[in-house]
Structure 1
Amino acid sequence: MAEKATYGITALRYAGTQVVEAMMGLIDAASARWDLRPSPTRVSEVVDRLVEGDTVISLFPDDEGGLQPGPEVKVDVLPGGTETLVLAEERPGRRLDDLPRF
C-alpha cells in the first residue's frame, strides 16, 4: 500500500465568501520541507486528496517569515451540496479566514 501524502495550504482564493482555490504544495514530512512548492489548486482537487486519504494541513505565516503548521484541513458540504474547506479545529489566529489571500 502506498504511503499517504501530506500537503500544506499556505493561502486561499475566494469568490465572494466561497473558497475556490488553495495555494497547496506537497510536504516532505521527514525533513520538514517542500517536495513540491505550493501552486494554485482548485478546491475540488484538494477534496480529491482528502477523499483519497491524504493529509492536508494549514500553514500559517510566523513572525520570522517561515510557516507554522496549523490544524488539519477537512471537507465540509454546504447547503446545496457545494463542497468547501474547513479546519478540524479553529482557534484565534488559526482560522481558515486567517490564511493569506492570493
Structure 2
Amino acid sequence: IAIDLIIRNGKEGEVYNIGGHNERTNLQVVKTIIKALNKSEDLIQYVTDRPGHDQRYAIDPTKMEKEIGWKPIYTFDTGIQETIEWYLTNKDWWQNILSGEYKNYFDKMYGNRL
C-alpha cells in the first residue's frame, strides 16, 4: 500500500522513508525471532563487527506520514510474527533458495542473458 501511495501521490524526485517508528538493534530483532520460534538464546553466535559495520538503522517516516498520509497498520511485534508465520508456512519457497535450486532455474531459463 505504501509504495502504491508513493507512486500515485508522491512528488517526482523525492525520497519517502517507509517505517514504523520501531528502531531496534540487530540483537533485539534476533531475540524476538528466537522467542517467537520457542528456541534458546544459546543459538545466538556473537561475532566481531566487520569494518564499517552500521551501528544502527533508524528510519524516519515523518515525511511519508505528513505528505502521503500513510501510517503503518502493523506494529513491529505483529509484523515480525506474521513474517515468521509466512516463512514457516511457505518452506518450499525458501528451501529452494537454500538448496541452490533457484540458481538452476535461472540458469535454465535465462542462461547467459543475466
With structure 2 as the length reference, what TM-score do the two structures score? 0.18
Structure with bigger strand share is: 1
* Bigger RCO (CA 8 Å, 6+ sep): 2
Q: Based on CA coordinates, which of the two structures has the bigger radius of gyration?
A: 2
